[in-house]
Structures are given as structure tokens and as C-alpha cells.
Structure 1
Amino acid sequence: MTTTVAAPRIPQAGPPLPPIAIATVALFLASLVLPAILAGGDTYPSPYSDQATVVEYFRGNTGPVLLTALLQFAASLPLAIFAATASVRLNRLGVRAPGGTIGLVGGVLASGSMALSALLTWTLTRPEILDHVELIRLLHDLAFITGGPGFLVPSGLLIAGIAVPGLITRLLPRWLAWAGLIIAGLAMIATLTVAFPDLSILLPIVRFPSLAWLVFAAILLPTRRRTTDSRERP
């Protein structure tokens, strides 16, 4: 009678974080720059612009709007992968606090909001929609609220979920961890933009540093825990 011994399970490291973070940021930035170039310098309008400006932009720039939707939808996918991989990475590094799970939830919510915003933007390229001014305004507002605070606030949870354990366990440089906490705090304050439109200035102020922070965290978060020799020297 022979017995088989199961081979020890080797923990999976997952895909490397830097390419995922860079892909997310590159696709999102491309969704801002390339459509503006194709539109001859016209930029995606604010929902607080006057109705004529909004309607004219979407009716006259179907191609750039479609490209915006495509690139932002594409950017939402690596963002979800980043959140899942970072959560597993923190767990493998010995983090047992809820931070990694909070970051995962925040990343999934942010990815979902970005994808939803992109899909709503896609509807603004449909000829049957562009015939109705009221639908243009409604869909534009929905795309803004999901891609603005709907994306940014859970992104703060993603950043905080990495920065807090990164600070406590010294997995991240202190300057990066504290910068993440500040960005996450501002992202939480951005919740108020839903009720106070004047605070919408926070959205671009927080969005771009948050994207840069994800890239730095992806590069500097170690793949294995540093060990120190705790033995006393004579």
C-alpha cells in the first residue's frame, strides 16, 4: 500500500503591480488627452456648463466621446486587478488587519464606478439620444457623478487600505504612506461635492495625485517582508 504526500502549496505572488498601475494611469490620461486632440482642443464639458455648450459638444464630437468611453472603460479593468493583487500582496506580507480588504472593496467600487461612467458616456454617442436635449443633460450628469465623486471617494478607500498598513508595518516609506493618508482624507471630503457643487474643484486636485500615488505604491510595496536579525550582539 502506497501513500502519497501532497506537495506543499506555494503561495502565488500574483502579477507585478507596477505594470498594472501604469496601465491604469496611462489609459485614463489617454482618455483625457487624445479626445481633446481629436476634438481640435475642445475638452469634455463640465456638468455645470450652460446647456448649449454641453449639447453642442456631444453633438459635434461623437468620435472623441466614443474614444473617451472606450479608454476609461479599458482603464477600469487593470484598476480592479490592481486592487485584488495589492490585497493579496498585503496578506502575504503578514497584514491581517482589515486594511487590505478595505482597499480591495474600495478598488472594486472605484473600478465599477469608472466602468459605469464610461458606459454612460458611450450612450452619449447614440444618434437617437443626441436628438433629445433632456437626455443629453441627464446622461452627462450621471456620467459625471459616477466618474467624479463615485470614482474618487472609493479610490480614497483603496489608497487608505494600502497606506495605513504600509505605515504601521513599515512596508512603505513614511513619506509615501502619509501622502496616501492625506490624499485619502481629501477623497473622503470630496463626498461633499454631491451636495455642494462648489467643492467640485477637489475632484481634479485629488484625482491626479491619487493616480500618481498608486504608481509609487506599486513600485515601492515589497514582494516579501524584510527580516531583521533580532539577536543581541555581544
Structure 2
Amino acid sequence: MNENAYDTNSAVGQRPSGPSGGVQTLDRVPGPAPGRRPQDGPPLPPVAIAAVALFMASLVLPIVLGGGAVYPSPFASGEEIVGYFRDHSDQVLVASLLQFAASLPLAVFAAVVSVRLNRLGVQAPGPRIGFAGGILAAVALAMSAGFSWAVTRPEVLAHEELIRLLHDLAFVTGGAGFVVPLGLLVAGIAVPGLLARLLPRWHAWAGLVIAAVAMVATLSVALPGLSILLPIARFPAFAWIVSAAFLLPRRRARRGEITANQGSSR
């Protein structure tokens, strides 16, 4: 019998050889096409600005449309709360619409910034914690908008007890229910931004302070006097998120670039 029939290099049994002459494995996972940029979602600044702008509009526009009437605090008198919702149901409807709209880009921002941090090499749980906080904040904001919308229904406005109940639910979900997870979103960006030097140190530390205030604001549910912490944490958090959207790089600087930048700054 011809010995060539058992030759492993025959045309039938031949396998492609690698550059070193060995057998090339066939179970490699194909990588991205050469020259193809990784898909990291929409740019962060427009998404962050959209979320903040819609939320701020939900606060300012109803006041303008209502002739200066301000959304009542849950600690105000029952007559004041009931009278506001009965006299300004259209303004409350506008506010709830804008708040619900603001929850959508906020959720998108949480998802995109989480992917961005992962692509920048952050493998710690920080981005996932921030993503969870952003989603929880968006859901709480949408729920608060839903409760506010429900107050505008004519069948609800006929019952003072329902007005007070829905108003309290809107306050809890839009207050601590929104601000506390928003602090998680800020912390989930600030911590890896500080440790991996993706953000300026002053900016990252400012985010950690804002996140700490937001965490303490949890106590406002049981201690109404601490409700002052809600706006103290909310509005700086919005400003921090927008600035982080501009400061967070799209790609990690190489060692040579870092050395050159350090040398030029001396």
C-alpha cells in the first residue's frame, strides 16, 4: 500500500498552517473589521443636555403659564394643595409631560456612559452601579410624572383625599426616589473617573460630594426637615452630569500621549 495515503499533509487531510508553520486553530472569534470604529452610542453632551433641559422646563414652564403660581410642597396646608391642583390642572399636566420626557434621555445617558466607561478599560463595578442608579432615577421620574398626571383627572379632582395621596406619591418618587439613585449615577461615573484618571480630580471629587449628599437625602423620607437636601443634591448633580458628558474622553490616552501632555504642562 502506498505510504502517501497515510500522509497527514495530503490534499484531503491538510490543514492551513499558521505563520510559524504550526497548525492554525479554526475556533477563533472574528474581531471587528479593520478600520471599523467601535459603536459606543450617541454622543453624551446632547443626551445629558436634553435630560436636564426637559426637567428644568418642567419646573419653570408651569410657573410661567400659571401666572407665578408655584407647585405646592407636600407640607403645605390641605386647602392650598387641593386648590392649586384644581385651579392649575393644565400646568400640572404640562409639568408631568415634560418630566416623563426627561426620564427618557436620562435612561439613555446612563446606558451610553456605562458603555463608554467599559470601552475606556474600566472593569470595576462602578459603571454598572451608575447604570443601575440612572435607570432607577429615570423610572422614579417617570412614576412621579404619572402620579402628577393622575391628579389632573376630573374624577380625581373631585376627591381631596385622592389629591393628597397622589401628590405625596409624586413627591416621594420625584424627591428621594429620584435624587438618591441619581447620586448613584454620579458616583458610578465619578469613582472610576477619579481612579482611572478619566476626569479632572476636582470634578471627580465634586461628584463624590454630590453623591454623598444625595445618599443622606434618603433620610428625608422619615425626617421632613432634611428635604432641603433634595434640591441641594439634584441641581448640582444635573450640572455635574452635563459637565462630565463633555469631560469624559472617547478613548483612553496612550502612554506616549500622557507623557507628552505632562511634559508640555511643566
What are the ranges of 5 or more consecutive residues in structure 1 without an aligned counterpart? none
Q: Specify the structure having the higher radius of gyration (Cα).
A: 2
CA offset at residue 179 of structure 1? 0.3
Structure 2 partner of 1:140: 167
Q: How does 1:62-211 map to 2 (within 5 A)?
A: 62-211=89-238
Please give the alpha-carbon distance, in whole angstroms, between the structure 1 residues aligned to 2:32 and 2:48: 31
2:56 equivalent among 8, 24, 29: 29
- The TM-score normalised by the length of structure 1 is 0.95
Q: CA deviation at 1:206?
A: 1.1
1:57 paired residue among 81, 84, 90: 84
Letter in 2 for 1:128: E
Cα distance in 1, alignment partners of residues 41 and 93 from structure 2? 33
Tell me the CA shift for residue 8 of structure 1: 2.1
TM-score by length of 2: 0.84
Q: Does 1:213 align with 2:240?
A: yes
Which residue of structure 2 lines up, in the alignment, with residue 8 of structure 1?
A: 32
Larger deviation, residues 57-66 vs 5-14: 5-14
Aligned equivalents of 1:66 and 1:190: distance in 2? 27
Give, as a single letter, the amino acid of the residue that structure 2 aligns with 1:217: A
- Aligned structure 1 segments of 4 or more residues deviating by more than 6 angstroms: none
What is the Cα deviation at residue 7 of structure 1? 6.4
What amino acid is aligned across from residue 201 of structure 1 in structure 2?
Answer: I
Identity of aligned residues (%): 65
User: 2:229 and 2:73 mapped to 1: Cα distance?
Assistant: 14
Instruction: Give, in angstroms, the shift of residue 228 of structure 1.
Output: 1.5
Structure 2: gaps (5+ residues): 1-25, 260-266
Offset from partner CA, 1:123-159 (integer Å, 9 cap, x none): 0110000000000000000000000000000001000
> Is 1:225 the counterpart of 2:252 in the alignment?
yes
Higher relative contact order, chain-length normalized (CA < 8 Å, sep 6+):
1
Match of 1:45 in 2: 72
Query: 2 CA distance for matches of 1:8 and 1:14?
Result: 16
Quick check: 10-19 or 54-63, which moved more? 10-19
